[in-house]
Amino acid sequence: MSAIPLSVGTRIEERRVEGRGVLVGYLPVGFPDLATSIDAAVALVENGVDAIELGLPYSDPVMDGIAIQQATQAALAAGFRIRDVFTAVEAVRSRVDAPVLVMTYWNPVVQYGADRFADQLRDAGGAGLITPDITPDSAADWIATSDRTGLDRVFLAAPSSTDERLKLTVENSRGFVYAVSTMGITGARADVAASARTLIDRLTAAGAENTCVGIGISRGDQVAEVLEYADGAIVGSALVTALAERGVAGVAATAAELATGLRPGASIPQAH
């Protein structure tokens, strides 16, 4: 397969026509090493995940829980470099037909050069960026750059956001709006906060076409619950933990279990 950019919005619409939502899987680039992180990302798609979110390891991951922090710190210690993200995106896109977003704090992009980063991401076949630590009103450079390159830009919305803030987020997001299910850092939780459903209702009222819920989702039944009211469910910590403890096979098995929530009762491909 060629590394032609594929918008995550396109994949969401395809699944909507099929009558279901999407499952987005997060893994950090370079953990436990670059080659394995690529294999693990491919395994996600081979076992039911619709879109990939590749994390760019960063030295000050303020939003990340312990599982992701440990993985990204290990990747940095092993010699991760920003250019490895483009290598990973291109490699994944050459093997599976799924959109690949990069989740990154903004400082590494600025240090690398936003235009240079965007051009290389587009050329590698990447869909765009999820930027957890910048808001639309402070992202003029990124908005201009993503408009020039056609990349998706996914901003975050929280339950604490005002209606005015949500409207601004909706108007400036492309691909989907990332609805943070609860306040706090990432990590698997027993229950996805009820505030997520309310937040999705508010985002829809603000004009959002595509919404995905992240933070706290770790099981197939939680995926099914979220997809009752949102277009997508995002899973990170559970997959990172599976990779840390059981390698690529563990990621494949966890992805297959999560994918049971896409169509409850349906047959899902077994882990490779």
What is the dihedral sign for C-alpha 153, 103, 182, 229?
positive
Q: What is the DSSP letter of 96?
A: -
Can you tell me the distance from the alpha carbon of 168 to that of 154, in angstroms, rounded to the nearest whole number? 12
Say which residue the tokens 């039911």 belong to: 48
Could you list the pLDDT tens digit for every one of the 272 residues in the chain? 446 788 999 999 999 999 999 999 999 999 999 999 999 999 999 999 999 999 999 876 556 677 777 888 877 788 899 999 999 999 999 999 999 999 999 999 999 999 999 999 999 999 999 999 999 999 999 999 999 999 999 999 999 999 999 999 999 999 999 999 764 444 444 455 678 999 999 999 999 999 999 988 999 999 999 999 999 999 999 999 999 999 999 999 999 999 999 986 443 444 33
Could you tell me which CATH number the domain at 20-259 has? Answer: 3.20.20.70
Q: What residues have CB less than 8 Å from 4, skipping those under 6 apart? A: 93, 125
Paired strand residues for 22: 232
Dihedral of CA atoms 175, 180, 184, 188 in degrees, nearest 10, equals -90
Q: Which amino acid is at 196?
A: A
Give CA–CA dist 183/166, Å, rounded.
16
CB 261 within 8 A of CB 233: yes
| Residue 69: closest CA among 248, 241, 250 | 241
pLDDT of residue 5: 80
Q: Which residues of 11-42 are buried (b: 16+ CB within 10 A; e: fewer)?
A: bbeebeeeebbbbbbbbbbbbbebebbbbbbb
d(CA 97, CA 189): 30
Active site (catalytic) residues: 53, 64
Cis before 264 (ω within 30): no
Q: Residue for token digits 């990172």?
A: 240
CA distance 121 to 129: 9
CB atoms within 10 A of CB 187: 18
